[in-house]
Structure 1
């Protein structure tokens, strides 16, 4: 798809202004993703367990609210107001519209993920063991959840109903890490939970930042080289979910309100 960077940047800046004018959306985009860092103040300072819990929660919140929910709500709003229909009659291409709506939330989530590093270090955590894996997890997460937002928009009738239609994805992403951390859960269910997008996101953080080998690990045991092989499975899972989400979004994209 042909995409004009200048035109996309202009549209993204316009969407960012609209985002900052909406107080609730601004709280979702900036304030809520940073709140999990307060978990670093509880328990033992410098504890890998506390750090992994705080950063994985930050990852989930940053992905679900600035990216998934905000992109979903903005796209549905623009569609219902016929903004998208009017803009498509001009020079603006579909790919530019999609990218410009997603970029503000993506920038917010990636910015929060980067800010988390110096803040966590100030609270006693170590620097990421493999920052490349950490960044890869963040990038795939925002792309995947943006695509899921556009897919969800296809069967969301209004911005108000997005509160309901977004729940399946939010629950799938949120409960994956929870199920893999429950020791009493049957192995079959825990194994299935490892293939959820949320669990893959969580493991990318735990491995890439804290060098934790598996969902039950509480101490750093992996060095930079070892993290690559251990992260192969969650990385493949999140890449697969990303392609699934993009494929679903492409097939179901709706540019006009339902009649």
Structure 2
């Protein structure tokens, strides 16, 4: 990155960080809600026939935690952020300066990325200790985290393009919040589903990220499989980024 780009990213990060702390309800949504979901999903997963399918509880909870936090702490939050800043004409004013479009979007999202990564690191570390499951493929886990962050940010920009107002964000994000975890192995491992369905759901947007994170603790993916999952996640990210580039609106509809 060039020096001006870094400077702009830091400035946007500081602005969003300050605004985040002014609204105390942000702590409830970004911290408490994912924690409650994780507790609930732990109860659900204990009722699944995991051992019959050779699934370890520790790595499964690691991938579940990662998926939940990426969707709730990053995707839904960044979608709302983009729409709110557009309605406030912040994005329009930023574009009149020297800041490039990708930097505006990345800089705005950087604060939520930092929060999400911190949450994932803390939760995953705690789960590893609780279940005695140490990482076996750190590179696979790192690839899963990076592709997940990029994918959720691109999805947020695409979803924001569909939203007319901040109030419409809740409706626009519902498909990803409710459907995406169900089809990507976040809530229910694909191994417990019928074989044909499980194989088909491998191509769901977030499935590769979940597989990579779980393999980081189980070591179940071979090198070619890891590269395939990374490429698939990258392809989904590129698709959403392309749609966002064509459809993203920088000012309110008139």
Q: Which bracket does the TM-score occupy, shorter chain normalised?
A: 0.7 to 0.9
Asked if residue 123 in structure 1 is aligned to residue 130 in structure 2, the reply is: yes
Given the superposition, is the C-alpha separation of residues 198 and 172 from structure 1 closer, same or farther in structure 2, using an over 3 Å criterion?
farther
Aligned-pair CA distance for 1:254: 0.5
Cα contact 1:172–1:198 (8 A) shared by 2: no
Asked if residue 203 in structure 1 is aligned to residue 211 in structure 2, the reply is: yes
TM-score (ref. length: structure 1): 0.82
Cα contact 2:148–2:206 (8 A) shared by 1: no
Q: Which residue of 2 aligns with 1:51?
A: 58
**What's the Cα RMSD here?**
2.5
Structure 2 unaligned spans of 5+: none
Asked if residue 240 in structure 1 is aligned to residue 235 in structure 2, the reply is: yes
Greater fraction helix: 2
**Structure 2: distance between partners of 1:241 and 1:72:** 17
**Structure 2: distance between partners of 1:71 and 1:103:** 9
Equivalent position to 2:100, from 87, 93, 97: 93
**Structure 1: distance between partners of 2:225 and 2:33:** 30
Cα contact 1:30–1:108 (8 A) shared by 2: no
- What is the total number of aligned residue pairs between the two structures? 240
Asked if residue 14 in structure 1 is aligned to residue 15 in structure 2, the reply is: yes
Cα contact 2:87–2:165 (8 A) shared by 1: yes
Aligned-pair CA distance for 1:251: 1.2
Q: Which residue of 1 aligns with 2:26?
A: 25
Q: Which residue of 2 aligns with 1:83?
A: 90
**Structure 1: distance between partners of 2:142 and 2:36:** 20
- RCO comparison, higher one (Cα < 8 Å, 6+): 2
TM-score (ref. length: structure 2): 0.84
Given the superposition, is the C-alpha separation of residues 31 and 125 from structure 1 closer, same or farther in structure 2, using an over 3 Å criterion?
farther
Cα contact 1:179–1:193 (8 A) shared by 2: no
Aligned-pair CA distance for 1:58: 1.0
Secondary structure (helix, strand or coil) at the match of 2:236 reads helix
Equivalent position to 2:226, from 218, 226, 231: 231
Aligned-pair CA distance for 1:37: 6.1
Aligned-pair CA distance for 1:163: 0.7
Secondary structure (helix, strand or coil) at the match of 1:258 reads coil
Q: Which residue of 2 aligns with 1:222?
A: none
Secondary structure (helix, strand or coil) at the match of 2:206 reads helix
Q: Which residue of 2 aligns with 1:221?
A: none
Aligned-pair CA distance for 1:14: 0.9
